[in-house]
Structure 1
Amino acid sequence: MILPFLLAALAFVTLLAIVAPLLRGNRPVPERANFDQAVYRDQLHELDRDIARGLLTPDEASAARLEIQRRLLATDRLASAPARLSRSPVLAGAVFVVITAGSLGVYLWIGAPGLPDEPFASRQAAMASADAKDRLSMQQAADRLAAKLQANPSDPQGWLLFARAESMLNRWDQAADAYRHAMTLGQTGPEVTAAYAEMLVLTAGGTVTPAAEAAFRQVLAADQNSGVARYYLAIAASQAGEPRKAIDMLQALLAGMPSDSPLRGQIGQRIADAAQAAHIPVPELANGTAPAAASSPGPDANTVASAANMTDAQRQAMVTGMVARLAAKQAADPNNLDGWLQLGRAYTVLHEPDKAADAFDKAASLKPGDVSIPLQAVRALLADQKPTARLPPRVVDLLKRVEATDPQEPMVLWFLGMAAVQDRQPQEARRYWGTLLAKLPPASEDARMVQAALDTLSQAAKEPGG
């Protein structure tokens, strides 16, 4: 509460400078005519002294005296009484009251007098405390994931979540091990492999090890536009003593990046380091593509703030409009994989499963080897499906497509078993669910659920007509 007192003192000093003249009035100020008269009288006295000393002849003295007297008379005609400003305590009080009341009223209207001071030291301590709480929360989440994985080590999605949690805690070696488990369980997409390789680099203190380089080359073979793989392979070339090759690779990476990307500075520094190592001038950085901000479908801060004051109908209309704009941009740029994935997730949120599945199909056509994409389409189509409802033919077709690539995928085994039951093919259902049960830890909840489904099949077979 120190700042309000300081501001009040400053306002009082300023107000005093305005009110003080009204309280004491102005002192009389000599006018120019009075000053001139005093000067001419002194000149007359000086003239008399010069005459007495014999410095002037009578004619010269007479002429000088007449001129001085003429000027003295002229100033006497122009002289007037000095102006005075009378004291006005009433006006001073009115000014004081109006300014003070107005300032106080404005402060109470738009200010926050009850808000306590927030010194930087206390804010810094609060921020540090918040960071510590966030880290503790992340640590607790990682511990819970670790406990679940200990009970169910065949959960690939759990290993992926655990890997990301460990990476956020800067525990690179544990994150790499978690990614390795997820890849062993079938999560071999380029994104997972790239994340695993990056953890290997961070574990090695920034050195692109042979294992990491091999993983990044595997990513690049599946996705030639992977910026992560291209960047680290360029770093590997620089560390292997090939700075010119690294510069060429980094320049090619810059050429495909948005011109306003914040990563351009970091890559530019890498190019400068490589040029210094090669003893060549630092080249001019390659120009990037158009800024990516225009293609971003996400809402900005102002949109989010305004959405908080919208009705449900207005908010739904805003979201629908953003998704429509994203769909239009994808139609103009059908090779944008990330855009199709984002559009599919957006349609899922809007409860438009068919449109979501269409978007995921477009994404899958751009990455046919990534089984996670059709599985996202399956989740979108089943999001509003009742558990007892028959699986749609499109879902079964997507599951069969994934089965052709990864026949051990747990989600595929479970739902294709359900489809077999619905088609009255119990033997086929037992095959799927038996395979799934063998992959699950015996004491896990998932295993108990699958076993219960198998027991139901067995009981149905014993019944008459079963």
Structure 2
Amino acid sequence: MTGFVITAAILAALAVLAVTAPLWRGRGDAGPQDTDIDIYRDQLAEVDRDLARGVLDEAEAERTRTEISRRLLAADASTRRAAGDAPRTLSRMAAVVCGLALLGAAGGLYAALGAPGYGDVPRDLRLSVGEDRRANRPGQLEAEAAVDLPDTLDQFDEDTRGLIQSRRAATFERPDDLQAWTVLAQTEAAIGQYHRAARAQERVIALQGADVAVDDYERLLDLLVAGTRGYVSPEAETIALRVLQTTPDSEPALYYAGLMYAQNDRPDRAFSLWRRVIEGGSPGTLHYDFAASQINEVAAQLGIDYALPEVRGPSAADLDAAQDMSPEDRRAMIEGMVGGLADRLATQGGPPQDWARLITSLMLIEQSEAAARVLAEAEAIFGGDVQAVTLIRRAASEAGLTE
């Protein structure tokens, strides 16, 4: 901190000196300036010498003296104008005001944007500290114990308590009954006993063996993180990464992996993962809304001005509603929405999911050539953005435009 203060003070002093020195010194304190006056005086003396030697006659000498004198007077007037200066007191007052304003502005900016007393934290050190914290953070059971969720059975009536207790007992009586464990996991989650629900869901996954579905792992992720009040444990991280290996577009896995990185000082990775959730998901879903509410914070840490994409063009709900219309009305409605979306993208541009939606909509109304042109244009626009191009190409593939 001492080194920073000394360096900042020296730089501030040099900046103030550079601004105020000319005002404080004034033009009158400057050294002698070269002018043409001495030259013209020498020329007048030379005219007298030429006249004495007979090089010039009296008339020529007089004309030369007149011209040189005229130039001498003009040079003297110009020098006096250049040497004019503001009052010394006023100049020095301006120097003081400028110096104080410069110091005040610098101090204000540092107070608002800086971190007084915060030591140097190079990028490599931050990454190392983050990785150490990630490697040594508490496990799932330790984190659940710290949360200490109370048993909520007392808030229910006697019949409901009896039903819950009977479902708990059924799993111990039939430890290999998949249905019993599935029902128990749902019951425990419904009453807020997320740690109990997580244990039951773990048993559900274990009983299914190789036939376990991705949905079951995603449900377990929700329960594990809910049981720790938002903390992503190493166990939850392992499950999220396992899901992403088989299902790269899993919104729960993407969101929780991003949350884990955000909690361990890696906003760059959190932003990348949450961006995939937002630009590939649908507003209103749980993990989309979670990612959308937090992505701006990690974007700000990276110096990125990220704006959430707007949902435009025909949505899935619009297309479902169109199924009840006559074929002619349905096609007219879709063509109208597609035309509006296409015009806006052509004139104003838009996020990659809007281009993907346009491709999908064009394929629905059997305009594959137009969809191919849109795909080529979108790839040219987003060529440097791998995630955007991947999103657009996936939409084209799912719509049947490409293989």
Normalised to the residue count of structure 1, the TM-score between the two structures is 0.32
Q: TM-score, normalised by structure 2?
A: 0.37
Could you say which structure has the greater relative contact order, defined with CA pairs below 8 angstroms and 6 or more residues apart? 2
Larger Rg: 1
